[in-house]
Amino acid sequence: MVKRLTILGIILVCTTRVTFLGAEINEFERERFRCEIADERHDLEFDRREVCQMKFWDARLNKVITDIHGNRVRIEEFITRPEANQIKFTALSKRKNRLDYFWFLQEFNKNLPKDIREIAFRCEWSEYPEFYPVKQTSYKSNTVDSLMYLFQGQQPEEIEIRDTYGDIVGYLYFLFSSRVEIWVNGILKRATDLSTFEFEPAEPEWSSGEYENGGQWHQEDYYWNNTYFRREQYIINDSGEVLKIWFMSIQDIEEIYEKYNMESIYTASEFNGRTIDIILVPKLFLRYKPEHSLFGAYDPYLLF
Amino acid sequence: MKKILIWCYVTISIILFVEMTYSESKSVFLFHSEIMEGYYDSSKQEGKFGYNASLSPSVFYKLNDKNTLFSNYVVSYEETDQVIEEEGVRWTDRILAQTVILGHIYKLSERLENKVSVIGYLELSQGTKDENLSTGLYNYWDIGLKDEIRYRTGFKNKPLVFRIGYKFYYRRFPNYEGLYYLIYKKGPRWEKDYFANRISANAEILLNEKTYSSVQLTYLWKIYTDDLVMVIPSVEEDYPYSTKKRQEHVLNFELSYNYSPWRWLSSNVMLSPEWRRGNQNYYDTDQLVFIPYVYDYDLYSGSINFLIKPWEKLLWQIGYKCSYKRYTNTLAYDKDGDYTDDKLYKLDHSINLNVSYPVYRNISVVASCFWDFSLSNTEYERIYGYNYQSASYGLGINYKF
């Protein structure tokens, strides 16, 4: 069909060329017509520049990147305030045929002021904080399957920071949880009482490790009901290239949080082969670093 | 893809059929095609090869002294690797673009003329390996109607032409859906789609045989169909948007001066400031900073171009352009990606050189070179390169009659 149309097009163009060879149009008019076409092209170019502007802003605001599979991923992140004592962070990852999303909800000990810049997403303080989270929920989904981490009974506790000789060099207030729950597709897989280290319904078995080429990490949990849960984590740049790193110091973590993205892929028995595949721009969680910081960033475990 | 080609050929056929129907009248068929092979080199990435090709038939039918119909069809295809363009990042590897223009010029008197045209544009692009030309994220089409009135007069015995135009168009990005909407079924869905109103006024005066000057003012008003204005997260509001629709205003001014001291040389100097103002805000979730009117900027650019014909056949064009773009609210980043107190700016210098030499009848060999140097007060370049040098070289064939 396309070949036939191509031949037809060529014939039509040639026929027209022959038909109009004798047309009585002088060179002045011909030039005038060329100017008409040039004017139209100039106009269109002006309108087309608007699309270039739009692409520039999508890039600058980091809304479009590439994942480890070479697919284009659109990313949108939002901060909202569902209640007076809550902050909610939502991150959406859209690929051609799928949509994954993540939200992280912090519930604080009291109502928050309008400016939350010094309050949100902290787990370390130099002094006992006025505002701190008492409950946090991390929810990930591919719109069909879901994974939820629930952190309850949270409060800052003072810890001693010692140097390599065992001498106390400072104090830090760190956010501890009394109970952590993991839910997969609405089923409680594991609840941990962090004061007694008792597990409900039972302690899972697990294994973890790094892939051979570095920058990639995985963990598998095997639960009481003969099911498993697996998570993989990749540190990638905007082109989807995996950062090869074998050991992470606090400085490395800072650099990673500043310059790279985190791609997390989750699967479980209940997902029937499906995955939750989320990309986060983690710079948000690198905003506070008190002296003697333990992590150099917001506790990655809470998020990933 | 087949559907696109079929659409393309049907359009050409209709144009040519109409053309043949009017073959009794004075008609002219203009044709322009070009194929270029090129190489792109940048300080930010490895050099890449690419090519582009375009084909543009146009038909004018002078029905009588007062009425002229015209049509123009352009199809262009380009294939390149990832490059950084003057106006921003482009990821696209392949672009297929088509334009159809159908118009009517009506001569009301010796001095007054009206041109009305319908313009359709379709651009398909593939940027990543999971996309193809029909599913590209940035695919778009637009349809518009334009009217232009021209008035020829004189000023102190010098020919003067005034033009006033208005264009209305609708631009649609069918593959770009708002993500917030996809999850929560509220908020903007087709967040890139908009209606545009463009008004332009132009005056051109022939000062003497060697000199002419023109001035153009263009105003563009964009009204987004779905996109809403973002707000600072407020207490007890689980929603990041306001109820206001996003709008943008662009004002562009072009002052041009042409001087041809000799038959073999003509020069052009152009100054072109541009101002963009809109109501869209941005809440930076990385730094919890609210940036009002994030897209607003002031742009000042100037260029100088020379067209040289050292002898009858050879044509040289050399030009230099400098532009300074300063964002009115967006702040520059330091090397760690944190905001500084300075407003973001970008300074751009570019030089272009084009050479054309006719080798046989209407066929010319063309060569082009383009060098670009860009500087900015932003040091953080993880996402977008602000400070770079790039060059592109092209060689091709041009056919025009």
What pLDDT, in 10s, does the model give residues A118-164?
888 888 888 899 999 999 999 999 999 999 999 998 889 888 888 77
Question: Which of A51, A72, A84 is the closest to B235 by Cβ?
Answer: A84
**Which of B18, B75, B179 to probe the A interface (max A CBs under 10 A)?**
B179
Q: How many CB pairs under 8 A join A and B?
A: 222
Q: Which of residues 18-37 of A touch B (CB under 8 A)?
A: 19-20, 23-25, 29-30, 33-34, 36-37
**A51 in the same domain as A74:** no
Kindly state whether residues A50 and A149 are assigned to the same domain: no
The answer to whether residue B319 is domain-embedded is yes
**A218, A73: one domain:** yes
Do A119 and A170 have their domain in common?
A: yes
Res B249: pLDDT: 97
Residues of B in contact with A101 (CB under 8 A): 179, 183
Taking an 8 Å cut-off on Cβ atoms, the answer to whether B236 and A81 are in contact is yes
Which residues are A124's β-sheet partners? Answer: A174
In a domain, B386, yes or no: yes
The structural domain count of chain B equals 1
Question: Which pLDDT score, from 0 to 100, does residue A12 have?
Answer: 57
Whether B150 and chain A come into contact, CB under 8 Å, resolves to no
CA distance B395 to chain A (A): 22
Chain B interface includes A71 (CB < 8 A)? yes
Domain-embedded: residue B7: no
Q: Which of B90, B178, B294 lies closest to A55 in CB terms?
A: B90
Structure pTM? 0.83
- Tell me, yes or no, whether A161 lies in a domain: yes
Please indicate if any CB of chain A lies within 8 Å of the CB of B185. Answer: no
Pick from B5, B31, B288: which is nearest to A2 by CB? B5
> Are A137 and A169 members of one domain?
yes
**Rounded percentage of chain B residues whose pLDDT exceeds 90:** 56
Contacts of A88 in chain B (CB under 8 A): 238
Sign of the CA dihedral with A262 first, then A267, A272, and A273 last: positive
Report the chain A residue with the minimal C-alpha distance to residue B101: A40
Residue B22 lies in a domain: no
Domain that holds residue B377: 296-401
**Chain A residues with beta carbon closer than 8 angstroms to that of B239:** 80
A113 touches chain B (CB under 8 A): no
Mutate: best of A78, A99, A144, A289, partner B, most B CBs <10 A: A78
| pLDDT value at residue B192 | 94
Is B384 within 8 Å of chain A by CB? yes
- Of A62, A77, A101, the one marking the end of a domain is A62
In a domain, B328, yes or no: yes
The number of domains in chain A is 2
pLDDT band at residue A21 under the 50/70/90 scheme: very low
When CB atoms are compared, the residue of A2, A12, A52 closest to B13 is: A12
Q: Which residues 16-75 of chain B have a CB within 8 Å of chain A? A: 16, 19-20, 23, 26-31, 56-60, 62, 70, 72, 74
Give the tens place of pLDDT for each residue, A239-275.
777 877 666 666 677 777 777 888 889 999 999 999 9
Closest of B48, B31, B52 to residue B395, by C-alpha: B52
Q: Determine contact: A112 vs chain B, CB below 8 A.
A: yes
pLDDT tens-digit series, residues A64-75? 777 888 777 888
Does residue A120 sit in the same domain as residue A267? yes
What is the structure's pLDDT at A109? 94
Domain that holds residue A38: 33-62
Structure tokens of B331? 């702040």
**CA torsion sign, B255 to B260 to B261 to B266?**
positive
Q: For A204-245, how does the pLDDT look when each residue is reduced to its tens digit (9 = 90+)?
A: 787 777 666 566 777 788 877 788 888 888 888 777 778 776
In a domain, A45, yes or no: yes
pLDDT at B324 over 80: yes
The residue of chain A with its CA nearest to that of B130 is A71
Domain identity same for A52 and A67: no
**A20, A30 contact by CB (below 8 A):** no
User: Mind telling me how many Å the CA of A179 is from chain B's nearest CA?
Assistant: 27
Which is more confidently placed, A175 or B200? Answer: B200
* CB-CB neighbours of A174 under 10 Å: 17
B87 band by pLDDT with thresholds 50, 70 and 90 = very low
B159, part of any domain: no
Residue B102 in any domain: the answer is no
Q: Is A62 on the interface with B (CB under 8 A)?
A: yes
Residue contact B56–A116, C-beta within 8 A: no
Q: Which residue does chain B place closest to A72, by CA atoms? A: B128
Which phi and psi (to 5°) does residue A12 adopt?
-65, -45
What is the pLDDT at residue B90? 46
Any domain includes A124:
yes
Residue A52's pLDDT band (cuts 50, 70, 90): confident
Does residue B234 contact residue B244 with C-beta atoms inside 8 Å?
Answer: no
Same domain, A274 and A139: yes
Q: Residue B81: is it exposed, middle or buried by C-beta count within 10 angstroms (0-12/13-18/19+)?
A: middle
B91: confidence class by pLDDT, cuts 50, 70, 90: low
CB interface of B with A, residues 279-308, below 8 Å: 282-283, 285-289, 294-295
What single-letter DSSP state applies at residue A81? B
Nearest to A120 among B146, B235, B288 (CB): B288
Going by C-alpha positions, the residue among A289, A283, A288 that lies closest to residue A77 is A283
Rounded to whole angstroms, how far apart are CA atoms B125 and B79?
10
Is there a domain that residue A12 lies in? no
Clarify whether residues A279 and A224 are in a common domain. Answer: yes
Top-confidence residue, A65 or B73: B73
Considering the domain architecture, whether residues A89 and A143 belong to the same structural domain is answered as: yes
Residues 341-370 of B with CB under 8 A from A: none
pLDDT attached to residue B239: 85
Q: How far apart are CA A67 and CA A73, in angstroms?
A: 6
A210 Cα distance to chain centroid: 21
Q: Judge if A146 and A51 occupy the same domain.
A: no
Angle at A40 between CA A38 and CA A43, to 5 degrees: 110
What value of ipTM does the predicted structure carry? 0.85
Determine the Cα angle at A242 with ends A240 and A244, to 5°.
Answer: 160
Beta strands at B363-376 and A146-152: parallel, antiparallel or unpaired: unpaired
Q: Do residues A225 and A286 share a domain?
A: yes
> What would the mean pLDDT of B394-401 be, rounded to a whole number?
90
Q: What is the pLDDT of residue A300?
A: 46
Q: What's the length of chain A?
A: 304
CA distance B235 to chain A (A): 5
